[in-house]
Structure 1
Amino acid sequence: MSLSSQAIPPLTGPRPNRPRPHGEQKPHTPLRPMWFCRADGQPWPCPEARLRLRHEFEENMPGLSIYLTGMFYEATKDLYHLNPHDGPTPRELYERFVAWGPSRKPAVEPSEVAGRA
């Protein structure tokens, strides 16, 4: 029995159908469960996907925040399932999926907050 047949498939989550492709280009959507861009192989959301998402959600910034948070949740499940011991940290995933979105600030380490008090 092969290793791939033993792996538990990830649960179905929100469909990452954004950003939608323009013309004949490959879409800049995530390839799950590794969360790389289908078009350029960079970690998703790649710079092109971020530009397209901002453009698509231009009139609905709360919708972009909700969408990115859903993708953050799904990526966290998938990536920790694939590599539970040395996968990306929660902060790295937050920065990658949510922090670049509308009205977001970078995550702050607890020691940085304690030092200000």
Structure 2
Amino acid sequence: MTTSPWPPRPIPGDTTADRPHLPMRPLWGCDTCRAEWPCPAARAALLVEYRDNLVALRVYLSALMTEADPQLSKVNKATDLYRRFISWA
């Protein structure tokens, strides 16, 4: 996992670059690239979308983290949800 603040560069021939990277519930993987959601592409898109209101982005991500917590607990995925959902924003 990258910690770069820059959006990922498109890979030539990558067909996932133009598709939205949305969460696949209840496993919370990316529906496009299958990485943990929010994947690097989703993070980049969210930062662009909410660039003028990062507080709203954090509220949105907090709501999604709250939704994901019981779902990920059912599939026994122990993870630091704060790091995954909010700390990067």
Specify the TM-score bucket, using the shorter chain as the normaliser. Answer: 0.7 to 0.9
TM-score (norm 1): 0.58
What residue is the counterpart of 1:20 in the other structure? Answer: none
**Is 1:36 aligned to 2:24, yes or no?**
no
TM-score (norm 2): 0.75
**Bigger relative contact order (CA 8 A; separation at least 6):** 2
CA distance in 2 between counterparts of 1:25 and 1:32 reads: 21
Identical counterparts, % of pairs: 40
What residue is the counterpart of 2:40 in the other structure? Answer: 47
**Is 1:25 aligned to 2:15, yes or no?**
no
- Structure 1 residue 77, shift from structure 2 partner: 1.4
3-state SS of paired residue (2:86):
helix
Structure 1 gap segments, 5+ residues each: 1-23, 102-117
2:81 is aligned with what amino acid? L
Identify which of 67, 81, 85 aligns with 1:93.
81
- Structure 1 residue 61, shift from structure 2 partner: 0.9
More helix by share: 1
- CA deviations on 1:11-54 (whole Å, 9 max, x unpaired) are xxxxxxxxxxxxx9332000000000011000000000000000
CA distance in 2 between counterparts of 1:96 and 1:38 reads: 16
Q: After the TM superposition, list the runs of 4 or more consecutive aligned residues in structure 1 that deviate by more than 6 angstroms.
A: none
Q: Which has the larger radius of gyration?
A: 1
CA distance in 1 between counterparts of 2:37 and 2:29 reads: 5
